Chains A and B, each alone.
Chain A
Amino acid sequence: AQSVTQLGSHVSVSEGALVLLRCNYSSSVPPYLFWYVQYPNQGLQLLLKYTTGATLVKGINGFEAEFKKSETSFHLTKPSAHMSDAAEYFCAVTMLTGANSKLTFGKGITLSVRP
């Protein structure tokens, strides 16, 4: 079975500050990891993904995440927060193979950006 832990439900940062959203996973097989973002009144949008290869992955809007197998983590970062980054962020894990391609999500973290 797979699981995702996103500690905390809300993070608040100042505009221009570092954004760090934590994600830890549990998986019995090598996982595929994703970060999705949901802006107000919109659907889920893929931010970035890790499948194989380079462990530091870059996504849209300046976000990046690093897969650390030893720490079972996939934390999301952005060097400088922008007001438009205010949204809810979801970490998810899957195996992507046939019957096992469903996503298991964390509870989500709401990011607020202060002027």
Chain B
Amino acid sequence: EAGVTQFPSHSVIEKGQTVTLRCDPISGHDNLYWYRRVMGKEIKFLLHFVKESKQDESGMPNNRFLAERTGGTYSTLKVQPAELEDSGVYFCASSQVIWGFSTEAFFGQGTRLTVV
């Protein structure tokens, strides 16, 4: 069974440009999460989808970040325009929902974003 897949693995962009990160969750997983780790800091929650709906987006840093999950399958996270402080590793995770409870989350390998 394929795990959580993220594209690209690395991205280097200039300040002011746009970058789109993609996450393909494990098939059948309704929950999809985005997290970010800025260098030297802890992994921080960004947002949570249940199928195509945003369940919790309390961790999104500002309106330069836009996440979508059309059709409840893969998700994209767009940063526009990118700023230097957006650099970090962006993780995606997915999990199942069983009887209203979420199972443990499985993580992708992350996308390392560098804004120069």
Contacts and interface: CB of A to CB of B under 8 A. Distances in A.
Q: Do A and B come from one complex?
A: yes
Interface of A: 34, 36, 42-46, 49, 90, 94, 96-99, 101-108
11 contacts: A36-B107, A43-B91, A43-B110, A44-B43, A44-B110, A46-B105, A96-B102, A103-B35, A103-B93, A103-B105, A107-B42
Interface string B82-113: 00000000010101000011111111111000
Interface string B38-62: 0001111100100000011001000
A105 B108 CA distance: 16
B42 A101 contact: no
Interface of B is mostly: strand
A97 B91 contact: no
Contacts of B109: 42-43
A3 to B, nearest CB: 10
Interface residues of B, number: 27
B31 interface: yes
A98 B100 CA distance: 6
A90 B44 CA distance: 12
B74 interface: no
Nearest to B112: A41
Nearest to B43: A105
B42 A108 contact: yes
Given A98-B100, A99-B55, A43 B45 contact: no
B33 to A, nearest CB: 6
A99 B31 CA distance: 10
A99 B91 contact: no
Contacts of B44: 105
